[in-house]
Amino acid sequence: MSSLLPVYKKWGITPVKAKGAWLTAADGKEYLDFTSGIGVLNLGHGHEEVMEEVQAQLAKFWHTSNLFQLPIQEEVASQLALLSGLDKVFFCNSGAEANEAALKLARRATGKTNIITCRQSFHGRTFAAMAATGQSSIHTGFGPILEGFSYLPFNDLDAFEKEMDDSTAAVLVEVIQGEGGVIPGTESFLAGLTKLCQKHDALLIIDEVQTGNGRTGYPFAYLKYEHVNPDIVTTAKGLGNGLPIGAVMAREGLDQAFSAGVHGSTFGGNPISLAASKAVVAKMADETFLAEVREKSAWFMEELKKLAERTSVIKEIRGDGFMIGLEMQTDSAPYIMSLQEKNLLTLTAGANVVRLLPPLTVTKEELSIALEKISEVCEIESLTL
């Protein structure tokens, strides 16, 4: 019997090693891993440059504290500022922590309390991140939920126009709702939120925990759109390619609200995670690498759409870059299990969605293997319907 609290429904797979897009289990099975540790291993398992940076840092020292001068923090922060177009960076350990910090920063900087987020959003499991999450099932049993949060329909700019006023402190939004079902935000919605926030002196916070770090073929997904200008961006997951790290990027001026002693984290910005991030942000600055990600993922998406036309079991293919959702006509769980039996690892998201998050380094050959397996499973399911 397990001594772990059963908050995760575990698969019967025990990993023993992993490299690139492949994971080997204790029973010798080789899986094509399109979960990437739930959108974390954007550069794949055991990425050489990440490994070299981490090993070099391990050999020097592991932890001091944020009281010391740590040039690696400055280096990664300035690279993140450059990539995001924002100015100041705070490091923490996870996506939920990044959102907690962003929400605290927004309240303190604006002096206002009202935060608007979207229905079906996901922002994390801590109290403020949970309150920001627009899914009642995630709140159940944890009340009282932190006050000051309201939820509006995603992609419905009119609803935001009606609800927002000068008491709005911030809007928190994902560019593509990940856990909610891989639902892309429209450019007009996100650009409209930028304008509404400016009008009401509210802050636009974009949660790039899952969409960031190259996942959509851009360093951050909002960078695809010219008129989407966040005041604060949060990220985590892919930023450490498997080591725990989160970051909040904020525009100049907001740092006044986060002076010494106002917020902090013992482990946030630790040199080991930052060594991994150093390799990740270097890749994010490599336009040739990102162009390849966009090209490979567009091809894969097209192939999936062709497949969807051939089968009756897929309702819709959605997403951008390597953040892809296959909305099935029925519950996605049996498809995920059938794919797993064929050695392809995938995830759920929202209702009826099979989510594919392959590493950005995946090859066309590996994508073709996945297409074949998905096609086989769809054919079997079509026959049994």
Binding site residues, ligand PLP, CB under 6 A: 94-96, 99, 122-124, 174, 178-179, 207, 209-210, 236
How do strand 114-118 and strand 347-349 relate by DSSP bridges?
unpaired
Least Cβ distance, residue 10 to ligand PLP (angstroms): 17
Calpha distance 15→3 (Å, rounded): 19
Least Cβ distance, residue 219 to ligand PLP (angstroms): 16
Reduce the DSSP state of residue 274 to 3 states and report it: helix
**Residues 6+ positions from 60 with CB-CB distance below 8 Å:** 271
CB atoms within 10 A of CB 284: 25
Least Cβ distance, residue 284 to ligand PLP (angstroms): 18
**Residues 6+ positions from 1 with CB-CB distance below 8 Å:** none
Q: Which is nearer to ligand PLP, 124 or 230 (CB)?
A: 124
How do strand 344-345 and strand 246-250 relate by DSSP bridges?
unpaired
Q: Which is nearer to ligand PLP, 124 or 321 (CB)?
A: 124
Residue with CB nearest ligand PLP? 95
Q: Which is nearer to ligand PLP, 313 or 336 (CB)?
A: 336
The per-residue b/e assignment along 142-172, b for 16 or more CB within 10 angstroms, e otherwise, is eeebbebbebbebbebebbeeebeeebbbbb
Reduce the DSSP state of residue 280 to 3 states and report it: helix
Q: Which is nearer to ligand PLP, 123 or 278 (CB)?
A: 123
Calpha distance 306→312 (Å, rounded): 12
Q: Which is nearer to ligand PLP, 178 or 192 (CB)?
A: 178
Least Cβ distance, residue 111 to ligand PLP (angstroms): 25
Q: Which is nearer to ligand PLP, 94 or 110 (CB)?
A: 94
Least Cβ distance, residue 4 to ligand PLP (angstroms): 17
- What six digits make up the tokens of 327? 């909305």
Least Cβ distance, residue 132 to ligand PLP (angstroms): 9
